[in-house]
Amino acid sequence: MQVIKTKQLKPLAGMTLQELQEVSSQLGMPKFVAKQLADWIYVKRVSSFDDMLNISKANRQKLAERFKVGLYGPESAQRSADGTVKYLFAAGDDKSIESVYIPDEDRATLCISSQKGCRMNCYFCMTGRQGYHGNLTANQIVNQILSVPESSQLTNVVFMGMGEPLDNPDEVLKVIEILTAPWGLAWSPKRITVSTVGVKPALKQLVETTQVHIAVSVHNAIAQERGSMMPIEKVYPIKEVLEMLGEYDFAHQRRLSLEYIMWQWFNDDIKHAEALREIIPNEHVRVNLIRYHMIPGVPKLRTSSDERMAQFRDYLNGHGITCTIRRSRGEDISAACGMLAGKVKDLAKKDNSKSNNTTK
């Protein structure tokens, strides 16, 4: 039997203005069509060429023969009792990724993924424990932002979902350009935070080429202990990463935060607070203490008590370092920090059909 291959259409969503200009040129269209495409995709957020009414019908036909808009909605959603919503998106290769919408008074934050799985292999992270299945494209990343139902309400985006953003720097930087460029969403970079375990070369590039906020996952300032939980410590020691960041200006609107998950009797005493204080480069760095959220396969770890977290916080605040305890969101739907995993699509659909808090 003859197998007929279907033509793969390349998505335009996720392209920069320069790339859209190249598309226009390839198809023999005027250069200004690129800006029209950017406006329809990133501002008006249409999913069909038929809706792009200021582009001629002939040019729309040319586009449709070789490209697609490339915006598609989530496959399912789970709603938490606290208002958090976790979305499941198809990501190719029968894999999927998750995004988390977090409403909070006057803020509406979307936590987005940058990889299918993760190769950082942090012991305590559900995403890391599932292994690495590939980088997301700029299309797959920006689609999360443009296609959640609350897209128009978003005030902030955080690259804190599945994957290590700086293990996929080219696509992440492209998405940041789309979010901040005047031809794209025209956001202030202060609405964007990129979280990293400390991939030093890509982090240096991010700091020097953008003005987005930076969040570094520290979790333990004692090198040997951190290395036992986070293999990246053996490649890029956290002390050296923070020394590098100390050379840049975070004294004004741009923010540098350190993320610190607290485990009972492991990293939550004053000795560890002192070790963390010693590697913080200056008083402009903020520390966020995070409760540990239990995941399957890691039975020995427990979150610190409220009392020990408060003592840790008060020690740092008493030494001139701004430190807060972050409120957990979405734990009841496995949407909190470290709990995102994605699922094989067919299995996800089967599981979601049995859940009372799942909507299609």
Q: Could you report the per-residue pLDDT of 130-143, keeping only the tens digit for each?
A: 899 999 999 999 99
CA–CA distances in Å: residue 9 to residues 39, 65, 92: 20, 8, 14
Whether residue 352 has pLDDT greater than 60: no
Q: Please report the pLDDT score of residue 297 as a whole number.
A: 80
Q: Please report the pLDDT score of residue 3 as a whole number.
A: 45
160: tokens are: 């804190």
Binding residues for S-adenosyl-L-methionine: 163-164, 195, 217-219, 293
Amino acid at 78: Q
Helix (H, G, I), strand (E, B) or coil at 69: coil
Phi, psi torsion values for 102, nearest 5 degrees: -125, 100
More confident residue, 12 or 356: 12
Amino acid at 147: S
Q: Please report the pLDDT score of residue 338 as a whole number.
A: 57
Rounded Cα distance between 227 and 7, Å, is 47
Binding residues: 118, 122, 125, 163-164, 195, 217-219, 293
Cβ neighbours, 10 Å, residue 104: 14
pLDDT band at 175 (very low <50, low <70, confident <90, very high): very high
Rounded Cα distance between 176 and 190, Å, is 11
pLDDT band at 129 (very low <50, low <70, confident <90, very high): confident
Q: What is the mean pLDDT of residues 235-255?
A: 96
DSSP run (H or E) holding 142: helix 138-147
pLDDT tens digits, 87-108: 999 999 899 999 999 999 899 9
193: tokens are: 């935070």
pLDDT, averaged across the chain: 91
Whether residue 337 has pLDDT greater than 60: yes
Active site residue 337: yes
Domains identified in the chain and CATH numbers: 10-68 (1.10.150.530), 100-337 (3.20.20.70)
Q: Please report the pLDDT score of residue 341 as a whole number.
A: 67
- For the chain, counts of helices (H) and of strands (E): 12, 15
Asked if 38 and 183 touch (Cβ cutoff 8 Å), the reply is yes
Q: Please report the pLDDT score of residue 126 as a whole number.
A: 87
CA 13 to chain centre: 18
Rounded Cα distance between 336 and 100, Å, is 9
Buried b (16+ CB within 10 A) or exposed e, 284-319: bbbbbbbbbbebeeeeebebbeeebbeebbebbeee
Catalytic-labelled residue, pool 111, 171, 323, 337: 337
Q: Please report the pLDDT score of residue 35 as a whole number.
A: 98
Binding residues for [4Fe-4S] cluster: 118, 122, 125
Q: Please report the pLDDT score of residue 347 as a whole number.
A: 35
39: tokens are: 């406006």
Beta strand spans in 229-331 (E): 256-262, 286-291, 322-325
* CA torsion through residues 187, 189, 191, 195, sign: positive
pLDDT tens digits, 19-30: 999 999 999 999
Whether residue 353 has pLDDT greater than 70: no
Active site residue 111: no
**Whole-model pTM?**
0.91
Give percent of the chain above pLDDT 70.
89
Rounded Cα distance between 119 and 130, Å, is 9
Beta strand spans in the chain (E): 10-11, 67-68, 76-79, 85-90, 96-104, 107-111, 115-117, 132-135, 156-159, 192-196, 213-217, 256-262, 286-291, 322-325, 358-359
pLDDT tens digits, 268-302: 999 999 999 999 999 999 999 999 988 888 878 89
Rounded Cα distance between 308 and 245, Å, is 29
Q: What Rg, from alpha-carbon coordinates, does the chain have?
A: 22
Q: What is the mean pLDDT of residues 151-159?
A: 97
Catalytic-labelled residue, pool 22, 65, 98, 283: 98
Whether residue 7 has pLDDT greater than 80: no
Residue whose entry in the numeric block shows the structure tokens 């204080």: 277
Q: Of 37, 26, 31, which Cα lies nearest the Cα of 60?
A: 37
Asked if 263 and 303 touch (Cβ cutoff 8 Å), the reply is yes
Q: What is the mean pLDDT of residues 233-246?
A: 98
pLDDT band at 219 (very low <50, low <70, confident <90, very high): very high
Q: What is the mean pLDDT of residues 260-267?
A: 96
